[in-house]
């Protein structure tokens, strides 16, 4: 069971100094794992100070859990060592593959949703969790194309994955919205198909809307359609650790704090009672 940490932010270097000097009202931070797979330096100097005051979770982008290539044991060793040093509340990565023919695409490539892929992914998740000695959380990715080979929609694939492995998910609501627009499906059908008990964390982010298609850029404020989807989802989901993820065009910390306050206001009457305590049942 993953704890409800409250409302957090992705930790970005442009905010390091302000965070340690002002100690803003943020419940927790998420770090990009790969940024700290180094010895010493500026990232570690600030992280050590920040983790003394805030809970930390780790979020990776390079595991390539869905690849048919052998798992990168060197990467997993570094991840395991990092987790030992950071002592995160949990570790997450993406349900995708990033490498093809030994070449890192530096992109989060969606998988075909087939029974073969489901069996393959289930085995890989088990292998990674045994290697790390801890449970992983996996995030849904946004997509722009589909595979002719796919035998089921993504949400059924994830529901089956949860059933077969017991794995938990980091649900990126923005990614669901982006894919729903690009592939013309109902985002709430997607969200409601996945057991709520398997959702450990939520990402909220922005995108670029080109009318005929939407690109997941994480470089804009969270737009109204994503806020609306989050609010609708939260009604049945219950208290779940939620954060704003911003990867480009990084605004002042105050701007992200305003978004975080808005996120909390949207679910305040759903997740909390009048005394501000978490509702149960």
135-163: pLDDT as tens digits: 999 999 988 888 888 889 999 999 999 88
Tokens read off for 139? 């995030």
- 93 pLDDT above the threshold of 90: yes
Asked if 175 contacts 216 with a C-beta cutoff of 8 angstroms, the reply is yes
Torsion-angle region of 209 (φ positive above 0: left; ψ -120 to 50: alpha; else: beta): beta
pLDDT category, 242, cuts 50, 70, 90? very high
- 31 pLDDT above the threshold of 80: yes
Question: What integer is the mean pLDDT of 67-95?
Answer: 93
Cα dihedral sign for 174, 180, 183, 184?
A: negative
Q: What is the CATH number of domain 7-268?
A: 3.20.20.150
Least confident of 17-21, 128-132, 148-152, 185-189: 148-152
Question: What integer is the mean pLDDT of 251-270?
Answer: 94
Write down the pTM of the prediction. Answer: 0.93
Residue-averaged pLDDT of the chain:
90
Tokens read off for 218? 């994480």
pLDDT category, 101, cuts 50, 70, 90? low
Which residue's entry shows tokens 């057991």?
A: 195
CA distances, 208 to each of 114, 163, 181, 205, 255 (Å): 29, 34, 12, 11, 19
CA distances, 97 to each of 50, 69, 104, 154, 254 (Å): 31, 10, 9, 15, 35
pLDDT category, 280, cuts 50, 70, 90? low
Question: What integer is the mean pLDDT of 213-240?
Answer: 92
- 267 pLDDT above the threshold of 90: yes
So what's the pLDDT on residue 100?
64
Asked if 113 contacts 147 with a C-beta cutoff of 8 angstroms, the reply is yes
- 109 pLDDT above the threshold of 90: no
Least confident of 57-61, 66-70, 90-94, 254-258: 66-70
So what's the pLDDT on residue 106?
62
Which residue's entry shows tokens 């305003």?
A: 258
pLDDT category, 99, cuts 50, 70, 90? low
Better pLDDT: 261 or 166 = 261
So what's the pLDDT on residue 240?
95
Domain layout of the chain by residue ranges: 7-268
- Residue 227, burial from CB neighbour count under 10 angstroms (0-12, 13-18, 19+): middle
So what's the pLDDT on residue 92?
96
So what's the pLDDT on residue 58?
97
> For residues 50 and 39, what is the distance between their CA atoms, to the nearest angstrom?
17
- 1 pLDDT above the threshold of 70: no
Least confident of 26-30, 106-110, 146-150: 106-110
């Amino acid at each position: 069971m993953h704890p409800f940490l409250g409302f957090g932010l992705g930790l970005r270097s442009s905010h390091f100094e302000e965070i340690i000097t002002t100690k803003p009202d943020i419940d927790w931070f998420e770090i990009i794992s790969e940024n700290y797979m180094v010895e010493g330096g500026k990232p570690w100097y600030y992280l050590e100070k920040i983790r003394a005051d805030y809970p930390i979770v780790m979020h990776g982008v390079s595991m390539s859990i869905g690849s048919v290539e052998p798992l990168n044991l060197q990467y997993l060793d570094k991840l395991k060592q990092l987790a030992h040093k950071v002592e995160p509340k949990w570790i997450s990565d993406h349900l995708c593959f990033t490498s093809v023919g030994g070449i890192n695409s530096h992109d989060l490539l969606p998988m075909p949703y087939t029974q073969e892929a489901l069996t393959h992914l289930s085995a890989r998740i088990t292998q990674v969790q045994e290697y790390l000695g801890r449970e992983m959380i996996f995030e849904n990715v946004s997509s722009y194309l589909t595979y002719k080979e796919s035998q089921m929609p993504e949400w059924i694939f994830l529901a089956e994955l949860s059933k077969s492995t017991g794995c938990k998910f980091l649900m990126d609501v923005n990614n669901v919205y982006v894919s729903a627009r690009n592939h013309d499906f109902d985002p709430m059908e997607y969200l409601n198909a996945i057991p709520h008990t398997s959702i450990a964390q939520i990402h909220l982010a922005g995108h670029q809307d080109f009318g005929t298609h939407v690109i997941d850029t994480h470089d804009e404020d969270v737009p109204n359609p994503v806020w609306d989807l989050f609010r609708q989802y939260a009604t049945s989901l219950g208290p779940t650790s939620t954060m704003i993820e911003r990867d480009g065009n990084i605004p002042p910390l105050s701007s992200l704090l305003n978004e975080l306050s808005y996120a909390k206001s949207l679910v305040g009457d759903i997740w909390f009672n009048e005394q501000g305590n978490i509702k149960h049942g």
